[in-house]
Structure 1
Amino acid sequence: MKLLEKITIGTGFVCALLAGGAQASVTIGGTRVVYPLEQREVTVKLDNDSHNPSLVQVWMDDGNADAKPGDIKVPFIITPPIFRMDPKKAQTLRVMYSGEALPQDRESIYWLNVLDIPPKADATSGVNSLQLAYRTRIKMFVRPAKLPGKPEDAPAQLSWKIGVSPDGKGQAVSVSNPTPYYVSFSEVDVESSGHLFKNEQGGMVAPHASAVLPVAKMNGVSAGAKVHYTAISDYGGAIDGDATLNP
């Protein structure tokens, strides 16, 4: 575990390097995990799509992407935490709730991390190579039983208004969420007076909370402008909708 913890310190930088083209050999079967709290456990499938074996480490975090696996305390256990994946093989992870108190009137969120460490390059080949571990990190929504409404209906219940960008130099979109569900976006556009302002980074708003979503070059937008959003469902699908931007 100590060796792998040292490797994971730099994986945030590694992922940024690889985002342009390379992909992890080990992939997760889904873009998010939903954990119904009434269930004893959920399973997550991994696949090794490459022709080489990989050493894999998995862990959960509570939002701090830079925290070391051994220092993180979360109310979930994952088995197996470290394992070898042979080429073209699959592995099932078991995620189990350990029973610590969590809010019962809204969802909680954690992140599942999968670190893919490729085999050492052949030193006798005479070819210089740079080997990088690749980390994949996805959201896990923890859903208590009997929450009101449906998660797929939550995006339509959001309220939108004009806000101030985080740097204070322009306008942004402020979104408020009255529901007990997290709502994630892949895209948010604002249409005003024939101009289209886009946020292609996405974002997320927590239950019973508000969030500011920066929109590129948005300025001079007045109340009554239209918001076009694409939210993400439990299954990674698109939920498209329109709303009016309030003052």
Structure 2
Amino acid sequence: MNVFTRALCVMGLALGGLGTAHAGITINGTRVVYPADQREVSLSMVNDGTEARLIQAWVDAGDASERAESSKAPFLITPPMARVDPHKGQTLRIMYTGAAEPQDRETVFWLNILEIPPKPKAGAEGADNYMQLAVRSRMKLFYRPKGLPGTPDAAADQLSWRIVQQGNGYVAECTNNTAYNISFSDLTFKGAKQESSVTKGGMCPAKGTGTLPVTGTPDASNQLVVTVINDFGGFNEHEASYTR
């Protein structure tokens, strides 16, 4: 599942017979893991469009309204802004600046990539009446201290679950005593029809608790099927018992 939050920001608007600029940048990843013992990590992307794109990149600490110029997250990105020509690539270098973060668990930040398309060329069809859209992709960046016990994959089986009825449906309350943030694409009750599964996503934070939507109806097995998103953006299915 593509877990990016994609926000559309209207950059320019003229009335009558509007044409629209479309996204062209493909990012090679859905999350970034930053091991604390690394000097930097990189993220690559390619412009699959037919026109050049301008990109701007920054990291925030969880406030989606925070922009590059006001970010207080302890990361530096090079280049912070770049032009990516058609069918060419660009690699971002992400460097941790050394601010104090908890060393007994992962900390979650967010990497933002804003893609700004070009204005139509003068004289081109629709050049006088167009809507220019900037596409913002937002993905999790996990700062992972050195020497954390266990592994992210094993951590998913160490969560505790409780099911609570909420209105006509149910939510799953998770307790995570591990050092790793566990991300999910979806949760279903075991035995629920596959087509009833609705991908909503969510995360159980390291050494914390979370509440996630779950589809289907509880049965006598008291089992959940949880689909975990791993470090590489792949999906691992786990079964877990729950209480009520």
Q: Give the TM-score band, short-chain normalised.
A: 0.7 to 0.9
Q: Is the 8 A contact 2:189 2:219 kept in 1?
A: no
Tell me, in whole angstroms, the C-alpha distance in 2 between the residues paired with 1:23 and 1:107: 35
SS at match of 2:155: helix
Match of 2:95 in 1: 96
Match of 2:227 in 1: 230
Unpaired runs of 5+ in structure 1?
1-10, 16-21
State the TM-score, normalizing by the size of structure 1: 0.83
State the TM-score, normalizing by the size of structure 2: 0.84
Q: Is the 8 A contact 1:199 1:214 kept in 2?
A: no
Residues 88 and 13 (structure 1 numbering): CA distance in 2 closer, same or farther, change over 3 Å? closer
> Match for 2:96: what amino acid?
Y
Match of 2:164 in 1: 163
Superposition map of 1:1-247 within 5 A: 12-14=7-9, 24-127=23-126, 128-165=129-166, 170-191=169-190, 198-216=197-215, 221=218, 224-247=221-244
Q: By how many angstroms is 1:224 displaced?
A: 4.5
Q: How many positions carry a matched residue from both structures?
A: 226
> Match for 1:94: what amino acid?
R
SS at match of 1:130: strand
Tell me, in whole angstroms, the C-alpha distance in 2 between the residues paired with 1:228 and 1:129: 47
Larger RCO: Structure 1 or Structure 2 (Cα < 8 Å, ≥ 6 residues apart)?
Answer: 2
Tell me, in whole angstroms, the C-alpha distance in 2 between the residues paired with 1:203 and 1:63: 14
SS at match of 1:133: strand
Tell me, in whole angstroms, the C-alpha distance in 2 between the residues paired with 1:182 and 1:23: 33
Q: Is the 8 A contact 1:163 1:212 kept in 2?
A: no
* CA RMSD after TM alignment: 2.3
> Match for 2:77: what amino acid?
I
Tell me, in whole angstroms, the C-alpha distance in 2 between the residues paired with 1:26 and 1:231: 26
Q: By how many angstroms is 1:122 displaced?
A: 2.8
Q: Is the 8 A contact 1:59 1:112 kept in 2?
A: yes
Unpaired runs of 5+ in structure 2?
1-5, 11-20
Q: Is the 8 A contact 1:172 1:212 kept in 2?
A: yes
Which stretch of structure 1 is more off in the superposition, 120-129 or 136-145? Answer: 120-129
Tell me, in whole angstroms, the C-alpha distance in 2 between the residues paired with 1:62 and 1:176: 22
Tell me, in whole angstroms, the C-alpha distance in 2 between the residues paired with 1:97 and 1:195: 44
